[in-house]
Amino acid sequence: MGTLGTTHIKAILPLPLYWKGRGDKRRQLLLSTNTWLPMHYTQRNNIKQNYHEIVKEWCEQLPKFKTLKPHYTLYFNNKRKKDVDNYTAPLHKFLMDAMVEYGVIADDNYEYVTGFCSNFGGIEDENYAVVELVGEYEED
C-alpha cells in the first residue's frame, strides 16, 4: 500500500446542456435543477451519459482519489441572473458519477467526497465551470 499524497487539480469544463424543441426551433439550453428534475428519467439519463462522454478523457487522466472536495466556479454567457445552486447541482452530480464510472473515486458518498462549494465567477462568452479538485490520492 502506498502513501497518501495531496493534490490540487484545476480544469475548465463545460456546463451540462440539453436539447429542446424540434426542427427549426430546436436549440441547446443550459441545464439547471429546475429543468432537469421534471424531465422523464430516460431523457435525464441520456443527458447524464452525454456529459460522461464529454468529461471521459479528462477523468481518465486523473489520479485515483482517496478523498475529494471539488470547488466549482461558474461562468455564464449572459447577464440574466441565475441561482448558482441550480446549475451546480447537475454539474456536481454528473461529474461525481462519471468519476465513479471511470475509477477516479470508489464511490461518491461522504466518505470519499467530503464536501463541495460553488461560486459565481462572472460573465464570459461561454457557459463553463472552473473545477478545482482538492484531495488525497494514493501514491504508488
Kindly list the structural domains of the chain, giving each domain's residue range(s) and its CATH number in brackets, ordered by start.
Answer: 4-138 (3.30.1330.70)
Using the predicted structure, report yes or no on whether residue 54 has a pLDDT greater than 90. yes
- And the C-alpha cell for 129? 465551470
| Count of CB atoms situated within 10 Å of the CB of 64 | 11
The proportion of the chain whose per-residue pLDDT surpasses 70, expressed as a percent, equals 97
Residue 2 banded pLDDT, cuts 50, 70, 90: low
Using the predicted structure, report yes or no on whether residue 1 has a pLDDT greater than 60. no
Segment 134-138 shows an average pLDDT of: 91
Segment 41-68 shows an average pLDDT of: 96
Segment 74-79 shows an average pLDDT of: 97
The label of the residue with cell 482519489 reads 65
Residue 138 banded pLDDT, cuts 50, 70, 90: confident
The proportion of the chain whose per-residue pLDDT surpasses 90, expressed as a percent, equals 91
The pLDDT, as a whole number, for residue 5 is 81
Alpha helices in the chain, H assignment, sequence order: 33-36, 41-60, 84-101
Segment 13-34 shows an average pLDDT of: 94
> End-to-end alpha-carbon separation of the chain, Å?
8
Q: Is 77 within 8 Å of 125 (Cβ atoms)?
A: yes
Using the predicted structure, report yes or no on whether residue 140 has a pLDDT greater than 80. no
The pLDDT, as a whole number, for residue 4 is 74
| CA gap 85, 36 in Å, rounded | 13
The pLDDT, as a whole number, for residue 126 is 95
| CA gap 59, 39 in Å, rounded | 27
Q: What pTM was computed for the model?
A: 0.92
